Amino acid sequence: MLTANLSETLTLLLIEDDDGDAFLVEELLKQAEAPPKIFRARTLREARAKLTSQIQCVLVDLSLPDASRLEALEAVLAVAPHTAVLVLTGLRDVHVALSAVQSGAQDYLVKGDVDARLLARSISYAMERKRADLAQLKLVQAELTAKETARLESALLPEPLLRTTSIEHVTRYLPGSGGTLAGDFFDTVQTPDGSVHLVIGDVCGHGPDEAALGVALRIAWRTLVLAGETSDTLLRTLDLLLRAERQAPEIFTTLCTATITPDLGHARMRVVGHPPPVLVRDGVVQVVDGAPSGPPLGIFPDAEWSVIDVPLGDEWSMMLYTDGLIEAAVGGPSELLGVDGLLDLVREHGAIDLDRLIRHVGTLSDDLAVVMVRKRRA
């Protein structure tokens, strides 16, 4: 509960050029239950040097030798935006003090009209008000982040364009330890000839730029597939887009594409510097042979990618994933799942069960995106 006395030892900075006024403030603060530690600055220049992280509250005079009116306050707020600020003013400058509060100060005090109880209470209130302001700011920032994440999620994690009921299609996306979406993306499209096309990709790095780049690549992939383009021209176009849109030349993208034939008996894949897909075919668990079939996008301008032909058999399921899955810690921080560990888990479960796989892995160090498709039994 707030009281008139300061209930804890605080560190204050008093910015006051008048020795008499400074002495009065210091004497009043000595009467507090827990007198604060006080630093004194006579000018704004001197105050800048003393505004360190240990300062919890600032009392600033609006009439300094090197600053007038709101200039001193604006400088203090710029250097110490998370610190409570009380303005000291003369009786004739009350209107200026009100402007100071509107500009970011927590309160103001009129010199000559302050006693120990009022001063202690004003400092206490100012600090609580600053805490409340910062808490509100964090809440607003969290709400904005949540809205941005939802917007990115709707673009990164689209609804599949599937007409067939002969395929079971399951996806999962989990952000890494940062809790926000990054550059992982996936999509599924069925073209008029009945072929089912899949993509999963990972833009290196984390942050909104990488997420936006992932969205651009996914939309470009979907557009090209719907236009009938599934050859190396598709990958070269994505490579050109990546180079044009990326924020730094070292940013690259790995991805895996698969085209399943209309009879669901065969797949043509390109594994572009990406982890190998897991295939369960007629009860046998393995990774797709021949992966990767070429380097990531954004590294070699003349790159080529070979096609991996994959017979699927009568009963099959296939999982495409980003490296966040195999880089998850399953024991200690340095004990990662890896491809072999992933295969062992699928064999242990007897099938590709995304929820069981995700429950099994530990802390994610990177985003995790997974797409599983399975031929339904007739």
Q: Worst-scoring range by mean pLDDT, 96-100, 280-284, 313-317?
A: 96-100
Question: Is this structure's pTM higher than 0.75?
Answer: no
CATH of the domain at 65: 3.40.50.2300
- Averaged pLDDT for residues 117-137: 84
pLDDT of 235 reads: 96
- Averaged pLDDT for residues 64-93: 84
Which of 107, 137, 167 terminates a domain? The answer is 137
- Quickly state the pLDDT bin for 156 (edges 50, 70, 90): low
Question: Is residue 4 situated within a structural domain?
Answer: no
- Averaged pLDDT for residues 33-40: 89
pLDDT of 3 reads: 42
Domain check: are 124 and 165 in the same one? no
Strands (E), 37-163: 37-41, 57-61, 63-64, 67-68, 84-89, 107-110
Instruction: List, in sequence order, every residue forming a beta bridge with 308; answer none if it has no partner.
Output: 269
Domain check: are 168 and 116 in the same one? no
Question: Is residue 186 situated within a structural domain?
Answer: yes
Domain check: are 132 and 174 in the same one? no
Question: Is residue 253 situated within a structural domain?
Answer: yes
Domain check: are 347 and 220 in the same one? yes
Whether 1 has a pLDDT exceeding 50, the answer reads no
With vertex at residue 244, the alpha carbon angle to CA 240 and CA 246, rounded to the nearest 5 degrees, is: 110
- Decide if 327 contacts 336 (C-beta within 8 A): yes
Question: Is residue 273 situated within a structural domain?
Answer: yes
Q: Is 283 left (phi over 0), alpha (psi -120 to 50) or beta?
A: left
Domain check: are 84 and 195 in the same one? no
Which of 109, 137, 165 terminates a domain? The answer is 137
Question: Is residue 150 situated within a structural domain?
Answer: no
Q: Provide the residue range defining the domain that includes 204.
A: 157-375
* β-sheet with 308-311: strand ranges across: 184-190, 196-203, 253-260, 266-272, 308-311
- Averaged pLDDT for residues 274-289: 94
- Decide if 197 contacts 225 (C-beta within 8 A): yes
- Averaged pLDDT for residues 209-223: 92
Question: Is residue 84 situated within a structural domain?
Answer: yes
Domain check: are 302 and 236 in the same one? yes
Q: What's the number of domains the chain is made of?
A: 2
Domain check: are 203 and 321 in the same one? yes
Whether 316 has a pLDDT exceeding 80, the answer reads yes
Q: Which residue in the block uniquely carries the two structure tokens 């999962």?
A: 172
Domain check: are 79 and 183 in the same one? no
- Averaged pLDDT for residues 128-144: 79
- Decide if 328 contacts 362 (C-beta within 8 A): yes
Which of 137, 172, 188 terminates a domain? The answer is 137
Question: Is residue 6 situated within a structural domain?
Answer: no
Radius of gyration of the chain from its Cα atoms, rounded to whole angstroms: 31
- Averaged pLDDT for residues 285-300: 94
- Averaged pLDDT for residues 58-67: 88
pLDDT of 144 reads: 72
Domain check: are 116 and 168 in the same one? no
Domain check: are 168 and 112 in the same one? no
- Quickly state the pLDDT bin for 155 (edges 50, 70, 90): low
Contacts with 337 (C-beta within 8 Å, 6 or more apart), sequence order: 325, 326, 327, 328, 329, 330, 345, 361
Domain check: are 358 and 283 in the same one? yes
Mean residue pLDDT across the chain: 86
Question: Is residue 2 situated within a structural domain?
Answer: no
Q: Give the type of residue at 361.
A: V
CATH of the domain at 206: 3.60.40.10
Domain check: are 124 and 221 in the same one? no
